[in-house]
A and B are shown apart, each in its own frame.
Chain A
């Protein structure tokens, strides 16, 4: 009962079965990666700068709407009064313009406190100093768009009046550094400046409005309790830990998760059907041989084991090839999905995680072995004398 030799007796059917298992395994792998991949990717993004809490206007998530939080200084003071809070960084997002020769280009502006920010990483040059009211940071895309580099001066304008054809605010700023904005979509032309400057440009200074806060908690163990305390202290605001954000995110991506579960289950079902059908027919064809083996003293257990190992071998070979195919198709599918407009460039939909991959592999091999259980029982229960007599006639 050599499983490989048995499988090689029928190369076409074995080849087709392996091809079938390979494709279904690829599908299963992709669906396992999809089911939790984007959440892990998003979690990594959110925790990238170590800030575990996000604060936004009530009923919204950060930058989900144009709603803003008034009285930012007061809100920040309340948060910092909690002993578990290490830092609270205000953040304002606004649409603004920059002059390029005689035209205006549209930019996305972030108002930040450079000491407590979670939205960019410095690529080149230097960061803004806490009192640097004449400095600006550019993304690579905005640097290219404006044709400006470190040390150059750019002119940001805002509050345009179409009738008078004038801008109410205009600021000449020196480029201090080129940064990588973590939440930007690919090619987004963004700039960052100190919060008061951006509030001036966006006409948010009077009420000291910001779009959101990022909050760093001293240690992860006190995260839940601190989040609850902040909620109690600031009931008019939406306060979410990274875990809460992921829950909201999960709710929005419920479609992809459910799709991955359904397609993953179908893939497993197809694998079971394929292996079980193939093994049943193979066993039926070899009943005479099996009966002979039983007649010369081979135990029922050995027969059952042999058939199940054959099913497992088939699944293992198809599954191994399927993993390779799955990795390739995951890359292709990821390229499709990451083209979603407005999606941060750092997000990925298909993220491999050792634990989930191991679980998927185990489930697949067990599925293959179990799919061989029914034909194995058929083989073991075949009446020896009757089968031999029937085979002889």
Chain B
């Protein structure tokens, strides 16, 4: 979306303006917007007056709550549990004793303008600041989530391996449990092929039934996880999603392993002497 490509100028430090020689001018009553969690914490609502200041021990400035807002859910901020409020830029600058100073600018480009070219042009003349395309900032700031994502993937691989071995083992035991039945079927003249198919079908059915129950458990666990963490962090973030792709992968893996284990075990059974299966070999 070329039109919407915002170019953020991130400054490596606050930027002074040469013209910024005016002493800070603060209105008698500031106007602020409180994040909903902060409003809850303070028990303050629109129209209430609060005191804000730079130091906890200071007297602070009086400010009227003009709005209470629900911030966009941000995964990077939830564990910090910080509270936010918004002020008009000149008010905050004056409060900080740093008039006409900012941390960063967001710059909108004309349709068709390339962010990379624009940042290069800006950086050529930059002194005390640096321009970055929004995409680069987004990529940089999503590093944390990429790390968490890689960790989850690694844990998932270990879990899948453990589950696969467990499933193989159970299916093998399940089929081997039918040794005597297989022996009886062989004694009564049922073909090896039919016995193999019957045992295999049974293994697939068990795996399919287990998969359905497993998917149900996963959906329930996901819902509980979301309920718990949304309450715990007081956020609307979604922590766990069971996607169709995940269901598809899990079910296919489960049935595939059931098929493999069932085939192996059934193959061993039909190749074994029925007398041995009966325990008399």
Contacts and interface: CB of A to CB of B under 8 A. Distances in A.
Interface of A: 12-13, 16-17, 19-20, 23-24, 26-27, 30, 57-59, 64-65, 67, 69-70, 95-97, 104, 106, 158-165, 167-168, 235-237, 251-255, 259, 263, 267, 270, 273-274, 277-278, 281, 284, 288, 329, 332-333, 336-337, 339-341, 391
A70 to B, nearest CB: 6
B55 A57 contact: yes
Contacts of B129: 160, 162
Given A161-B16, A162-B128, A337-B147, A278 B173 contact: yes
Contact of B169 (A274, A329, A391): A274
A284 B154 CA distance: 38
Interface string B131-172: 000000000100110010011001100110111011011101
A164 B58 CA distance: 35
B67 interface: no
Contacts of B161: 23
Given A255-B79, A336-B151, A236 B57 contact: yes
B55 A70 contact: yes
B88 interface: no
A65 B77 CA distance: 12
Interface in B237-264: none
B18 A59 contact: no
Contacts of A160: 13, 15-16, 127-129
Contacts of B229: 255
Contacts, number: 135
B19 interface: yes
Contact of B79 (A58, A252, A288, A337): A252
Given A16-B169, A163-B18, A336 B12 contact: no
A223 to B, nearest CB: 23
A235 B58 CA distance: 11
A23 B127 contact: no
A351 to B, nearest CB: 16
A273 B16 contact: no
Interface in B95-129: 126-129
A341 B143 contact: yes
Contacts of A236: 55-58
B91 interface: no
22 contacts: A12-B172, A13-B172, A16-B168, A16-B172, A17-B169, A58-B55, A58-B57, A95-B12, A97-B128, A235-B57, A236-B58, A251-B79, A251-B81, A254-B232, A270-B162, A270-B163, A278-B173, A284-B177, A288-B279, A329-B154, A333-B155, A341-B143
B54 interface: yes
B231 interface: no
Given A332-B154, A341-B143, A270 B79 contact: no
B271 interface: no
Contacts of A96: 13
A128 B226 CA distance: 52
Nearest to A19: B165
B162 A340 contact: no
Contact of B176 (A59, A67, A281): A281
B80 A329 contact: no
A163 B17 contact: yes
B151 A20 contact: no
Given A16-B165, A19-B165, A20-B165, A161 B128 contact: yes
Interface of B: 12-13, 15-19, 54-58, 79-82, 126-129, 140, 143-144, 147, 150-151, 154-155, 158-159, 161-163, 165-166, 168-170, 172-173, 176-177, 229, 232, 279
A273 B166 contact: yes
Nearest to A24: B162
A300 B91 CA distance: 84
Nearest to B153: A336
Contact of B177 (A27, A97, A161, A281): A281
Nearest to B13: A95
Contacts of B166: 20, 270, 273-274
A20 B162 contact: yes
Contacts of B58: 236
A15 to B, nearest CB: 9
A13 B176 contact: yes
Contact of A27 (B56, B57, B159): B159
Contact of A329 (B12, B147, B158, B232): B158
A340 B18 CA distance: 38
Given A161-B128, A336-B150, A277 B170 contact: yes
A237 B170 CA distance: 60
Chain A CB count within 10 A is highest, among B54, B161, B166, for: B166
B128 A340 contact: no
A67 B54 contact: yes
A273 B55 CA distance: 58
A155 to B, nearest CB: 15
Contact of B80 (A23, A64, A281, A341): A64
Given A67-B54, A274-B169, A164 B15 contact: no
B169 A13 contact: yes
B223 to A, nearest CB: 15
Given A59-B56, A281-B173, A336 B154 contact: yes
B53 to A, nearest CB: 10
A103 to B, nearest CB: 11
A3 to B, nearest CB: 18
A122 to B, nearest CB: 28
A88 to B, nearest CB: 18
Nearest to B56: A58
B177 A267 contact: no
A236 B19 CA distance: 35
Contacts of B168: 16
A27 B162 contact: yes
B131 to A, nearest CB: 11
A17 B13 CA distance: 59
Nearest to B232: A254
